[in-house]
Amino acid sequence: MSNHLKNAISRVRDTNIEWVGLREVREEIRYSAARDGKPRANSSELSHGLMVEVLANGQFGYASTPNLDEQSIQLAIRKASAQAFSASRWAIHRFSAAQRLRIEMKYTSPVVRSLDSLSIRELNDLLIEISCKLKISPKIVRTEATAATFETHVHFVSSNGSDAEQKFTQISTGFSATAQEGSVVQKRTDAGMRGRSYQGGWEFFQTPALWNSVQMTGAQAVELLSAEECPSEVSSLILKPDQLMLQIHESIGHPLELDRILGDERNYAGSSFVKAGDFGKLVYGSPLMNVTFDPTISHELASSGFDDTGNRATREFIIKDGILLRGLGSLESQVRLGGIPGVANARACSWNRPAIDRITNINLEPGNSSFEDIISSVERGVIMEANRSWSIDDLRNKFQFGCEYGKLIENGKITRTVRNPNYRGITNPFWRSLRKVGDRSTFEVYGTPNCGKGEPNQLARTGHASPICLFENIEIFGGAS
Amino acid sequence: MIDKSYFDSLKVNILEQGLGQGLGQGGLSSGEHLFINLYAETSQFIRVNHAKIRQTGMVDDASLEISLIQEDANKSAFTGNDLRKITRAVTLTGNLTLDLETVHAALNKLRNDVLQLPVDPYCVLPTNTGSSAYEKTGVLIPPEDAAWVLLEPVQGIDVVGIYSAGKVIRALANSAGQSHWFATETFSFDYSFFTKSGRALKGVFAGSSWDQKKYLNQVSEEVNRLKVLEKAPKILSKGCYRTFLAPAALSELVSMLSWGALGEASIRQGESPLRLLRSGTQTLSPRFNLYEDFSRGDISRFNEEGVLAPESLPVIHEGKLSNSLVSSRSAKEYQVLPNGAAAHEGLRSPTVQGGKLEEAEILKILYTGLYLSNLHYLNWSDQPGGRITGMTRYACFYVEKGEIICPIENMRFDDTIFNLLGSELLDLTCSASYIPDVGTYNMRSVGGSMMPGLLVSKLEFTL
């Protein structure tokens, strides 16, 4: 991207404007899908435009435009300025340029196999082959394979000297098999819906394990048809990382967003049970619980160099030894809350939306228990994997999750498969019941590419990594019948 | 500037003049077919918290989605079953010269890529079943005045929400000569009023012409409604409760039917719980009637392929599945008739028919149980089995002997649609409320649903 943004800022003459930021975003999204051995969709999208943000009279105002010529940028600056001035009388906080730090850096996603290395013909052939090979039995009534890629180039410049770029390459792939026998229908996916979402290229789809995973997904869909229903009882629960991903997202990520704690989201996504006074004090979970905001894991979906307000992103402990330390909030949220520590997480989903506090990458750090240690310690319980259902209240307390696949654990051994495994609980009691945390060998990285939040609404890509974990005394149950 | 004349110029250049590329008759090469879909908006957004402004801005956005369908060049005779399809969306600026360059590049990419694709047996060609044009001009608050008009009347009240206003455009044209235009100017203030103790009620003030007197009246009514929320809440035990779902709560429940339930594809592919209605294994209450009703004119009747939905389509009639939602693609795959459903085969303009309950009598008829104004974060907990979980939210009350006693602490429910819309459904209110769709993912939504209230003999709460 060229210097036209810096030139546009240099031509701003309105002395009442305290700060101007320009964020140009050019994003290419491609999506292909095959169903039951035939192509279902092939689409792409090129989105390109500019977000102008102006600070005037202590209030930020914004204006987005798809026009990148000088006249249109200046018009957008005037519109944003008018918004800021007219709103400043009603401002929720008097901001300053201290909430927009100067940044100069470049960040690029590491890519091993570039997105261009697979033609659209080869991609369709691959997806069709996967959807055919998933059909391992006549009982499989539907198969699907999908691949979405995202190439996003962000250029951020500001009147206080920021000039920074980020080039993200992201990939989100998945496949599923639905089996049916009589009235019983069971679906199995590869790590849950869109769970395999990463920063990087085709190396995360064309893996050595791909065809084994395809075979196993089809086989387990059929296996679930004759599996017994998950028991309804209070027992031990072991969650694999492809389910913990969403447990972390919903019951750690969202309640710790400072804009929720400030009440900004009360009309839509909701608020939080966490209060401003809880930081540094609240026992969020058991002493085994260590959670980080980590933008540095290179292939995790939301890794970045800086956020969309120019704040440099660094790894931080959010929860350490079970104690809540830090919130997920931008410099704006931090100053509104009187200096509660936050992170660089002001992100926008596109050029036509303003930055808000987002989850980005939130990870549960590994412990020291091996998989075998964890299983052998359980007298009776269920191990669950791959999310299929999720719901939590607006304060992020009462949750219920459903998984695709479960295994009973009896007397320290994995025994029978169970279908429709579900569990429910309340956030802090649940995390305080964390009894064992898997070691590095059980640590896996996943992503959720459709995190909805904000007014106007925004979908964000977030990453979550964790080891397997054991929880005690959890309410588990089965399906509809 | 993007308006109808801009779209007409775009249409002529792309579909009739082949973008000046000297292509064959009609502007397209032999065997090529095209859909173009325009999505555009000019919006003001004001985000409010504690009756102050959190964020405010203007969004100009437009994109054109181009779908190219290519017949198999090697076939001697056209069968309609040898088609390849590819789609690309590009951002538009409103500058026709620039945009035609962008579209030209997009079309060239599509032409190159489509030849690499396998045949799509369920791809549908454009048809021309008639064109339409609808444009509604609103009376909106000037952007520079919106903050004052919106916030002055609510000072001293803990109000949080989003004001959205401006023009929304949806348009379509195809290479068969069909053209549709839908443009509307609307506003909405989607808000929550909070008490000091953190309890809230939710509402929307929406329309196409701002009426300050009506706004002030609505604010005043909401302030009055807040009073009952000041009472200490009741913590319910788990179990089943006789429950009244107000229209907004029923709207949430019905919206779940758009998520893999009413679509012909989801029924055929085993994922929809409503396959059990089709097979006769399950039924819903004969009192439950659901329609797609486009007669309100608040949303475009045409889908992405230009097919006009019927003005009214019975979906569930007296508890039986009378029409699934059938897209053109599903129609071709399953050899059934399409009914103008969008590709995702979800409800676009749902209406639930009212029953016999007088709204004024609801508390008396409910007698003892729960009055739920809103539900939150619904999801299938067992989709093939038809079980849904979700939360109560906002103004939800415990009612005893026909009187509101107090608000309740939010509870999780987990129950099946076959219970809630079937065996446990007692009746619906005779009057219905319009619930505007105020969503803003990717772009501002238009339209809404028409919902009565629903009384059920029991709803199971689990947490």
Determine the Cα–Cα distance for residues A293 and A308; give it in Å rounded to an integer. 16
The shares of helix, strand and coil residues in chain B, as percent rounded to the nearest 5, are 25, 40, 35
Taking Cα atoms as reference points, which of B46, B396, B34 lies closest to residue A456? B46
d(Cα A225, Cα A417) in Å, to the nearest integer?
10
Distance CA B57, CA B50 (A): 18
> Average pLDDT, stretch A446-463?
97
Q: Do A391 and B276 touch (CB under 8 A)?
A: no
Chain A residues whose CB is inside 8 A of the B271 CB are 142, 178, 185, 187
User: What share of chain B in percent tops pLDDT 70?
Assistant: 97
| Least confident interval from A122-126, B307-311, B412-416 | B307-311
Residues 223-262 of B with CB under 8 A from A: none
Burial class (CB in 10 A: 0-12, 13-18, 19+), A101: middle
**For A77-86, A176-185, A399-408, B12-21, which range has the lowest pLDDT when averaged over its residues?**
B12-21
pLDDT above 80 for A164: yes
Place of tokens 């964890």: A374
pLDDT of residue B188: 98
* Whole-number average pLDDT of chain A: 97
**Location of structure tokens 């506003």:** B187
Cis peptide before A456 (omega within 30 of 0): yes
| Per-residue pLDDT, B23 | 45
Q: What share of chain A is helix, strand, coil (3-state, %, to 5)?
A: 25, 40, 35
pLDDT band at A9 (very low <50, low <70, confident <90, very high): very high
User: Could you report the per-residue pLDDT of B206-262, keeping only the tens digit for each?
Assistant: 999 999 999 999 999 999 999 999 999 999 999 999 999 999 999 999 999 999 999
Q: Is the pLDDT of residue A452 over 60?
A: yes
B-facing residues of A in 399-418 (CB < 8 A) are 400, 402
Quote the pLDDT of residue B22: 45
- pLDDT score of B81: 77
Length of chain A, please?
A: 481
Q: What is the per-residue pLDDT for A481?
A: 56
User: Is the ipTM beyond the 0.90 threshold?
Assistant: yes
How high is the pLDDT of residue B28?
A: 81
**Residue A436 belongs to what H/E stretch?**
strand A434-437
Interchain CB contact of B87 with A (< 8 Å): yes
Give the one of A65, A125, A186 whose C-beta lies nearest to B60's C-beta. A65
pTM: 0.97
Q: B43 to chain A, minimum CA–CA distance in Å?
A: 10
Q: How many CB pairs under 8 A join A and B?
A: 246
Distance CA A333, CA A265 (A): 13
User: Residue A252's pLDDT is what?
Assistant: 98
For residue A66, give the amino acid letter: P
Q: How many residues does chain B have?
A: 463
Q: Which helix (H) or strand (E) holds B86?
A: strand B83-91
A46 touches chain B (CB under 8 A): yes
Long-range contacts of the stretch B17-22 (C-beta < 8 A, 24+)? B19/B100, B19/B103, B19/B104, B19/B107, B21/B104
Taking a contact as any Cβ pair under 8 Å apart, which residues of chain A between 291 and 330 contact chain B?
A: none
Choose among B369, B347, B305, B344: nearest CA to B447: B347
Residue B24 has pLDDT above 60, yes or no: no
Question: Taking 70 as the threshold, does the pLDDT of residue B134 lie above it?
Answer: yes
pLDDT in tens, B138-165: 999 999 999 999 999 999 999 999 999 9
pLDDT score recorded for residue B26: 47
Calculate mean pLDDT across residues B431-460.
97
- A chain contacts of residue B328, beta-carbon cutoff 8 Å: none
Q: What distance lies between CA A228 and its chain's CA centroid?
A: 33
B270 CB within 8 Å of a chain A CB: yes
Distance from the B116 Cα atom to the nearest Cα atom in chain A, whole angstroms: 5
Secondary structure class of B219 (helix, strand, coil):
helix
Instruction: Please compute the mean of the pLDDT values over residues A408-425 and round it to a whole number.
Output: 98
Q: What pLDDT does residue B78 have?
A: 65
Task: Please provide the DSSP assignment of B81-147 as one string.
Answer: SSEEEEEEEEE--S-HHHHHHHHHHHHHHHHHHHTTSPP-TT------S--EEEEE--B---HHHHH
Calculate the average pLDDT of chain B.
95
Q: What was the pLDDT predicted at B288? A: 98
Our CA angle for A399, B242, B286, nearest 5°, is: 105
Q: Specify burial of residue B231 (Cβ count, 10 A radius: 0-12, 13-18, 19+).
A: middle
Q: What is the pLDDT of residues B76-119, one digit of tens each?
A: 666 677 999 999 999 999 999 999 999 999 999 999 999 999 99
Q: Give the model's confidence band at B19: pLDDT under 50 very low, under 70 low, under 90 confident, else very high.
A: low
Side chain identity at residue A412, one-letter code: G
Q: Which of A263, A352, A344 shows the shortest CA–CA distance to A99?
A: A344
C-alpha dihedral sign at B83, A27, A351, B10 = negative
Chain B residues touching A91 at Cβ < 8 A:
52-53
Cite the beta strand spans of B318-417 per DSSP E.
Answer: 320-321, 350-352, 369-382, 387-400, 403-407, 412-416
Chain B residues touching A456 at Cβ < 8 A:
43, 45, 59, 162, 164, 440, 444
Q: How far apart are CA B454 and CA B463, in angstroms?
A: 22
Q: Is the dihedral of CA A129, A131, A136, A139 positive or negative?
A: negative
Pair of tokens at residue A429:
């009691």
